[in-house]
Amino acid sequence: MKDALTLPNVITLSRIIAIPLVIVLLLSGPLWLFYAVLALVLASDLVDGALARAGRQITGLGKLLDPVADKALFLSLFVALTVQGRLPWWAVGAFALPPSVLAVGALWLRWKTSRWVIIEARALGKTSSTLLSTGLVGVLLEPVLGDFFAKIALAVLALGIALSYAALGDYIVIALKHLKELRRERGHKL
């Protein structure tokens, strides 16, 4: 466990811990402080990965925590924006379904194989996350940049959600390949 408590993992954990503060600031302001804290949280997502790669501190815990932190932040922002009436409720469900399926799938694989199967981030997943981040930031900046910009941001957000379904399919294919390899290794059905 000591090896898992690297600086990049501590930064990722701090991102998770900061989510309630981000949401409180979004809902009750001041808006400038919300934007500042959100910028720090989003920047920390870049910093933790860069530090992990540069310091050769990539851990299984980090591979697990980083996407959990991203999805938890995104889901929290989706819900808060929906509460504010800036996003429709169906957007929360459409966003939440792929990560929920992945989480259930990861637990199922753990149960079937007695170990955690961690799948590296893939191009579709990274592209989806980038579009989701860009779209969310655009929606969040609507008070500053106006309605026209927010409509473009919603389109980017919708594209990010659509790509998350494609990424889900990609991850399922990879997970099934891992399961097949494990079956071959163990010489029986899992």
Asked if residue 9 has pLDDT above 60, the reply is yes
Task: Answer whether residue 74 is part of any domain.
Answer: no
Say yes or no: 90 and 61 in one domain.
Answer: no
Say yes or no: 5 and 99 in one domain.
Answer: no
Say yes or no: 142 and 180 in one domain.
Answer: yes
Task: Answer whether residue 97 is part of any domain.
Answer: yes
Say yes or no: 6 and 91 in one domain.
Answer: no
Tokens of residue 154, six digits: 């919603």
Across the range 23-36, mean pLDDT stands at: 93
> 46 Cβ partners below 8 Å, 6+ apart?
none
* Residue 3: per-residue pLDDT: 65
Task: Answer whether residue 80 is part of any domain.
Answer: no
Say yes or no: 54 and 119 in one domain.
Answer: no
Asked if residue 88 has pLDDT above 60, the reply is yes
> 70 Cβ partners below 8 Å, 6+ apart?
45, 129
Asked if residue 180 has pLDDT above 80, the reply is yes
Q: Report d(CA 49, CA 61) in Å as an integer.
A: 13
Asked if residue 189 has pLDDT above 60, the reply is no
Say yes or no: 48 and 102 in one domain.
Answer: no
Spell 45-81 as b/e; 16+ CB within 10 A means b: beebbebbeeeebebebbebbbbebbbebbbebbbbb
* Residue 187: per-residue pLDDT: 67
Say yes or no: 95 and 166 in one domain.
Answer: yes
Nearest residue to 16 (alpha-carbon basis) of 83, 61, 82, 81: 61
Domain range enclosing 59: 1-65
First-to-last alpha carbon distance for the chain, in angstroms, is: 28
Give how many domains the chain has, as a whole number.
2
Nearest residue to 33 (alpha-carbon basis) of 19, 45, 42, 22: 22
* Residue 175: per-residue pLDDT: 83
Task: Answer whether residue 73 is part of any domain.
Answer: no
pTM for this predicted structure: 0.82
Q: Report d(CA 59, CA 9) in Å as an integer.
A: 8
Instruction: Identify the helix (H) or strand (E) that includes residue 152.
Output: helix 147-186
Asked if residue 153 has pLDDT above 80, the reply is yes
pLDDT, tens only, 49-82 = 888 888 888 887 787 788 889 889 999 999 999 9
Task: Answer whether residue 40 is part of any domain.
Answer: yes
Asked if residue 6 has pLDDT above 60, the reply is yes
